[in-house]
Amino acid sequence: MNNQSQKTVRQQWEEALKYEGYEHSIHDKRDCTSIKRFSRTWRCILKHIPEEVQTTSNKKVFEFGCGGGKNLAQFLLNGWRVVGIDVSAEVLERTRQYLAEVQCICECLANVELVHGDFLGYTSEEQFDLVYHVGVVEHFLDDTEREAAIKNMFKITKKGGYVISIVPSGAHPLRQKVKTRKLGGYSIPEIDYTVALMEGELRKCGGKNIKVVPHNIMGYRLIDDKQGIARIADRLVYYMFQTIPLAILRKSFLCRHAMTLIGIAQK
């Protein structure tokens, strides 16, 4: 067993994020409207969240593994109270700097709480309308530990609120190449998520009305290391699939070629 596999998930992330990771720059986005606009991923997710959840007063969102703060900034500027937790003290300091820039440019009041700690041990009397993670739980290789994290997400969610789990798909054609050559970024080991695995975990951990949405179809083509004509062809294929209505494609095809799986479950 190598040293990397002997370290806990927390230790691996603390080490990986000590000097850099998931930072965002807004120097090329001085227009607050562009910073406020939800990403394509979040626009996809929010279509599945009832309007009353999104428009309620004092709506609150929690991010498990908040990284550089880009997701939190979008919710902040759309009127949510935001709370984020991360195991890396260094990345949280960089997150504070980023959110301070956002608040300065957009002239908004801070409604942010950042917590340094391990989510597995996190407790809160506060309940949230939306609790999510982006690319975190797949790094818990132990089933019991991973399920404990997901159960804690449900624990801090309001009754009727939503838990969102966003993970890399484990089924697309370049998955093994991405993992062995670290084309996706960090080298922290991951499990291979399937639709069935995600549905089963969310149900077991307390979810209902579960949907698993295959997302970013053909997105793996953008991180391949091809060059020249092959690289251009990959990009043309990717952008073509971003314009096709997904409803006309078979679910099996979407699951096979999705870069990301989005799990949406109600408490």
**Hunting for tokens 């002239």 — which residue is that?**
107
Between strands 208-217 and 112-116, the pairing is unpaired
Please say whether the beta carbons of 174 and 261 come within 8 A: no
The DSSP code for 38 is P
Instruction: Report domain extents, the chain.
Output: 3-266
Whole-number pLDDT of residue 173: 92
- Other Cβ atoms less than 10 A from the Cβ of 90: the count is 15
pLDDT at 200 over 80: yes
Looking at residue 217, its amino acid is I
The overall average pLDDT reported for the chain is: 88
Looking at per-residue pLDDT, the higher value among 266 and 247 belongs to 266
Ranges 57-71, 120-134, 215-229: which has the least confidence: 215-229
4 against 211, higher pLDDT: 211
Residue 265 three-state SS? strand
CB atoms within 10 A of CB 160: 11
Q: Which CATH superfamily is domain 3-266 in?
A: Vaccinia Virus protein VP39 (3.40.50.150)
**Percent of the chain surpassing pLDDT 70:** 88
What pLDDT, on a 0 to 100 scale, did the predictor assign at position 1? 43
Q: What angle do CA 143, 62, 267 make, to 5 degrees?
A: 65
Specify the range with the lowest mean pLDDT, choosing from 15-29, 33-47, 178-192: 15-29
- Considering only CA atoms, which of 94, 147, 88, 137 is closest in space to residue 115? 88
pLDDT at 26: 56
Q: Are the beta carbons of 138 and 175 closer than 8 angstroms? A: no
CB 241 within 8 A of CB 138: no
Two tokens, residue 174: 């370049």
Q: Which residue is it, tokens 């291979």?
A: 192
Is residue 187 over pLDDT 90? no
Question: 240, 222 in Cβ contact below 8 A?
Answer: no
